[in-house]
Structure 1
Amino acid sequence: MITIPIGALEVAMVQSGARAADTLRDTAECARHIEELGYVRLWYAEHHHSPAIGAFPPVVLTAHAAALTSSIRLGSGGVLAPNHAPIMLAEQFGTLAALHSGRIDLGIGRGPGTFDEPTARALRRGAGPTTDDEYRDDVSATLRFLVDEVALDPLPEPWLLASSTAGAALAAELGLPIAFAHHIRPDNTLAALDHYRARFSPSRWCARPRVLVCVETVCAETQQEAAWLAGPMDVVKAGLLKGRGDIPFPTPEEAAAHSFTTEEERAVTGFRVQQAHGSPDIVAKQLTALVEVTRADELMLVTPIYAPADRLRSYQLVKEQVAPAV
C-alpha cells in the first residue's frame, strides 16, 4: 500500500480534433473527480505553442478549479518565473489564496514552457534564456512581493520545481519545499534530493526539508491495457528526443501503429521502467519503491492518457492502493 499523500499534475492534453473549450471542460471535470477521489492537491503546468498540450495559464485554471471544488489544494506546477513579472505572480496567487483560504499553492519553475524559440522570446519580450542569477532573483523577488507588497492573509504556499541539482540547491538556499520532476529527469532525482536535504536552510516558508516527487503514472486493470494507454505519450517522448515539440498527441490506435527507431525504443523503455506503469498492484509496488528510495513526503502523479475517462480511471485505481489512514 502507498502510505503517503498523493496529488495530481494536469497538463491539459489536447485530443485530436478537439476544441479548446472541450479540453477546458474535461480539465474542469477532472478537477471535480480528483477531489472526490481524495487527492490532496492538483497542480497545472504552463506550456506554450504545443499541439499536444493546451496553452492555458495555470493561474486561470487554478481559479476556475477553485470555484468548482471545496477542499483540494490547487495551484501551479509550475508557473515559469522567467515568463512573468515577479510582482504579477505575487498579486495573482496572493489574490487566489485570499479568495480560497488555505488551498492555493504557488509552484515556481524555470523552463520556457515551449520548444519554439520565437514563442520563448515573445514570452520574455525578446530576452534570451535566463541565467542562474536572474532566475534566483526572480524567485526571491516573487517571495518578497508576496510578503511586503501583497501582504494578504493567508499567503499561497510556495514550492520550487526542480529537475536538477542546481534547482535543488536553490530550493535549499531559499528554504522552500521542493517538487522534483522525476517524470522528466529520473536520473537526476536521488543526487538532487540528497543535495537539497544536506544544504537545506530553514525559512519562514518551510522549517525542514519537504519533498514532493512527481512521477508519470499510467494504471489500468491489466498490464496490457496500461501499455496501450501509455502509447500516445511514448510517441510524444520520441519526438522530444529529437528536440521536436510539435508532435500532436496521438490516439492509442495511432500510437500502436507508430514505428520507433531502435534508439527511440531503447530510450522510451529506459524511461518507462523508472516511472509507474501497469496494473494496480504493480503500480502500487513501483510507487512504494520510489517513496522508499527518495524518502518523499508526498507523491504527485502525472497521467498523460488520451481519453479523460481512462485518465480518471487511472487516478481511481491508484487511489484504491493508498492506505486508508492517508
Structure 2
Amino acid sequence: MIDVPLSALEVAMVQAGARAVETLRDTTAFAQAMERLGYHRIWYAEHHHSPAIGAFPPVVLAAHAAATTSTIRLGSGGVLAPNHAPLTLAEQFGTLAALHPDRIDLGIGRGPGTFDETIARALRRGAGPTTDGEYRDDVAAILSFLVDEVALGPLPEPWLLASSTAGAALAAGLGLPIAVAHHIRPENTRAVLERYRAEFTPSRWCEQPRVLVCVETVCAETEEEAAWRIGPMNVVKAGLLKGRSDMPFPTPEDAAVHPFTEEERRALAGFRAQQAVGTPETVVHRLAQLAEETGADELMLTTPVYDLRDRIGSYELLTKYSEAMTAP
C-alpha cells in the first residue's frame, strides 16, 4: 500500500501529427482530472526547442490551471533559474500565490531545458552555462526577493529540484524541500538523499528534511498494454541517451517498429526496472517499494504516454486499485 501523497508532473508531450494548441487543451483536461481523482499537486516542466515536448512556460500553465481548478496545488517542476532573472521569477510566482493562496509551488531547477546550445545561449542572452556559484546565488536571490521585494501575501512554496549531490547540498544548505529526479537519473537517487539528509539546515521554508521523489509511471490493465503505452517514450529516451532532442513523440504503432539497437534496449530495460510500469498491482508494489526505500514524503508521477485518455486512465487505474486495497 502507498502511504504517502501522490502528485503528477505534466511534461506536455506533443503527439506526432498534433498541434501545440491541442497539447495545451490537453493540459487543462489533465489538471481537472487530477483534481477530481484527488492528486495532491501538479507541476509543469520547462523545456525548449523540442519537437516532442511543448515549450510552454510553467508559470503560464500553472496560472491557467489554477483558474480552471479549485483545490489542487500547482507550480513549476521546474522553472530553470539560469534562464530567468531572479526578481522576475519571484514576482511571477509571488503574484500567482497571492491570487491563489496556499496552492502555488515554485520548484527551481538548474538545467538549460534544451540540448541545443544556440537556444540555451539565447535563453541566457548570450551567456554560457551557469556555474555552481552563480546557480547558488540565483536561487538565494529568488528566495530573498520573494520575502523582501514581493511579499504580496501568502508566498509560494519553494522546492529545489535535484538529480546530483551538488543539488542536494544546495537544497540542504538553504533549508529547502527537495524534489529528486528519479525519473531522469535513478542511479543518483540514493546518494542525493543521503547528502541532503546529512547536511540539512532548518530554515523559514522547512524545519526538517522534506523529500519528493518523481517516478516515471505507466499503469494499464495488462503488462503488455503498459509496455505498448510506454513505447513512444522509449523512442524519445533512446534519442536523449545519445544527446539528441530532435526525436518527435511517435504513435505507439510507430514506436512498436522502431529499430532500437541492442545497447539502447539494454539501457532502456535498466532504466525501466527502476521506474513503475505495468499492471495496477505491479505499479502499486513498485511505488510503495520506492517510497519505503527513499523515505519519501511524497511521490510525483510522470506518465508520458501518447493519448490523453490513456494518460488519465493510468492515474485512474492506480487510484482505483489503491482505494480497493485500503477499503475495509
How big is the shift at 1:321?
A: 3.8
> 2:244 is aligned with what amino acid?
R
What's the counterpart of residue 44 of structure 1?
44
> 2:255 is aligned with what amino acid?
A
What's the counterpart of residue 265 of structure 2?
265
What's the counterpart of residue 139 of structure 2?
139
Q: Given the superposition, is the C-alpha separation of residues 321 and 210 from structure 1 closer, same or farther in structure 2, using an over 3 Å criterion? A: farther
How big is the shift at 1:153?
A: 1.4
How big is the shift at 1:318?
A: 1.5
The one-character-per-residue Cα deviations of 1:17-56 (angstroms, maximum 9, x if unpaired) are 2112111001111000010000000000000000000000
How big is the shift at 1:322?
A: 3.6
> 1:286 aligns to what SS in structure 2?
helix
- What is the CA–CA distance in structure 2 between the aligned matches of 1:322 and 1:189, rounded to whole Å? 25
Gaps of 5+ in 2: none
> 1:320 aligns to what SS in structure 2?
helix
The one-character-per-residue Cα deviations of 1:132-155 (angstroms, maximum 9, x if unpaired) are 000000000000000000012100
Deviates more, 1:315-324 or 1:54-63: 315-324
What's the counterpart of residue 218 of structure 2?
218
> 1:184 is aligned with what amino acid?
I
- What is the CA–CA distance in structure 1 between the aligned matches of 2:15 and 2:187, rounded to whole Å? 30
Segments ≥4 residues shifted beyond 3 Å: 321-325
- What is the CA–CA distance in structure 2 between the aligned matches of 1:241 and 1:77, rounded to whole Å? 21
Aligned residues: 325
Asked if structure 2 preserves the Cα contact closer than 8 Å seen for 1:79 and 1:107, the reply is: yes
Report 1:131-280 matches (<5 A): 131-280=131-280
Gaps of 5+ in 1: none
Asked if structure 2 preserves the Cα contact closer than 8 Å seen for 1:2 and 1:321, the reply is: no
- What is the CA–CA distance in structure 1 between the aligned matches of 2:162 and 2:322, rounded to whole Å? 26
> 2:264 aligns to what SS in structure 1?
helix
The one-character-per-residue Cα deviations of 1:110-141 (angstroms, maximum 9, x if unpaired) are 00000111000000000000000000000000
Q: CA RMSD in A?
A: 0.9
Q: Could you tell me the TM-score, scaled by structure 2's length?
A: 0.98
- What is the CA–CA distance in structure 2 between the aligned matches of 1:41 and 1:57, rounded to whole Å? 17
How big is the shift at 1:242?
A: 1.2
- What is the CA–CA distance in structure 2 between the aligned matches of 1:177 and 1:316, rounded to whole Å? 28
> 1:167 is aligned with what amino acid?
G
What's the counterpart of residue 79 of structure 1?
79
What's the counterpart of residue 109 of structure 1?
109
What's the counterpart of residue 62 of structure 1?
62
